[in-house]
Structure 1
Amino acid sequence: MFRIGFRTISNYLLSHFRHFPRWCCFYALFNRLIRQEGALFTSFSNYIVPVIGMILGFFFLHEALSIQQLIGMGVIMMSLVLSDEKIISMLIRN
């Protein structure tokens, strides 16, 4: 039978709850972004996270970028631009 001691449980709880203030800050900022920009913009902003990660890895960790990654970043950026009604209406007017 598997037994968990008090020390193991308390270490588990402490290791997870020490990040609680960070979670609260992130949740508050996320909700503020939803209120200011709307849910659609907030959901689209999640698509940019891998692009930022690859760019930061390239500059700070000196990781190589393959042609597939560059194409993927281009597809993500174009899809975000084309999904925004303001940008499309501005392009049509010009």
Structure 2
Amino acid sequence: MHAETFTTAAPLPCYSQMMRRVIYALAVVQAALMAVAVLVSHRFTTLVAGQGLSLWMVLAAGLTLAALLVPALMLAHSRTRQHLGMAMALIPLLGLAAASVYLN
């Protein structure tokens, strides 16, 4: 009984599975939003400047997305660090919300 007092509590299996699905959904939504943003900015720069979006901008957007979402997807499978994965999946959306509030 005394040894069980100091062990870490594992989340319920259904809670863990649902959080994993939420992290996957957030990753898909953010990847789709990034693709739409790149396509819209490409279209905008084509219409305004007459030239396409440079490759380094697309590469930077993809690397930024990958740097935040790949570790989040990897942490989604860990029962003890799943909350960190959720936080990492929410960081890009938090940045988007902060930019939206700042610009408005």
Q: TM-score by structure 1 length?
A: 0.33
Task: Report the structure number with the largest CA radius of gyration.
Answer: 1
